Amino acid sequence: MSRPVVIIDYDSGNLRSVQKAMESLGVPAVLTRDKGMIHDARAVVLPGQGAFRDCATKLDSYGLTDVVREKIIEDVPFLGICVGFQLLFDYSEEHGRTPGFGIFKGGVVRFPHEFTDTNGERLKVPHMGWNRIKKVGDVDVLADVNDGDFVYFVHSYYPVPEESDVTATTTDYGFEFVSSVAKGNLYACQFHPEKSQRVGLKILKAFWKKVEDYE
């Protein structure tokens, strides 16, 4: 059996749903916090759900921050989801300034407490439910996704990258924010592919193809 895709197990809420979605596509995906397995991983998936600081603290408490960062720097195929996307940035302002991995320059900030859409309708925070993504550039993981497809979001904070060339998609929620990024073998998204039905499965399938092509 070939080496599996490793899903980082640090007690986040959406780990098993990510694993089940990948298994439905025939992807050999295992949940682990074993540093040896992560170090030797064929690919790494970092989901996340909840507060940025809590997720960062959990990763640190299990001694996983450095090994995950090392795998990203090695440019092995990497998928970050929700807080696993936010953790790639320098810091988050959630519950006070908390440092992230620093893979991308920029910070994670909160949606305004009160803001409206173009029709003057008040927008709720958290941003929860289905919304469209707008593709930016040519990203292999999004090859089978159409501009304007709907994906599922649950978040109150969003990253603001300083480097515009890493943006893979944007989403309009009162204003356009960066909803996913791509660089090398890394793809990370604010939305949840595992909850995004047909479109999400297309993204996970394309990520698996990237893993297979990598070797």
Phi, psi at 144, each rounded to 5°:
-100, 10
Retrieve residue 53's tokens. Answer: 């600081």
Provide Rg for the chain, Cα atoms: 16
> Which candidate in 55, 155, 189, 194 is catalytic?
194
Verify whether residue 194 is a known catalytic residue. Answer: yes
Is beta strand 89-92 parallel, antiparallel or unpaired with respect to 167-172?
unpaired
**120 Cβ neighbours under 8 A, 6+ residues apart:** none
* Structure tokens that stand for 107 in this block: 């910070």
Backbone angles phi, psi at 193, to 5 degrees: -60, -35
Catalytic residue list contains 82: yes
Quickly tell me which residue has 């990520």 as its tokens: 207
Residue in 55, 127, 155, 192 annotated catalytic: 192
Residue environment code for 175-213, b if the CB has 16+ CB neighbours within 10 A, otherwise e: eebbbbbbbebbbbbbbbbbbbeebbbbbbbbbbebbee
Choosing from 55, 82, 127, 155, which is the catalytic residue? 82
Catalytic residue list contains 192: yes
Q: Which of 189, 192, 184 is nearest to 213 (CA)?
A: 184
Q: Give the residue numbers marked as catalytic.
A: 82, 192, 194
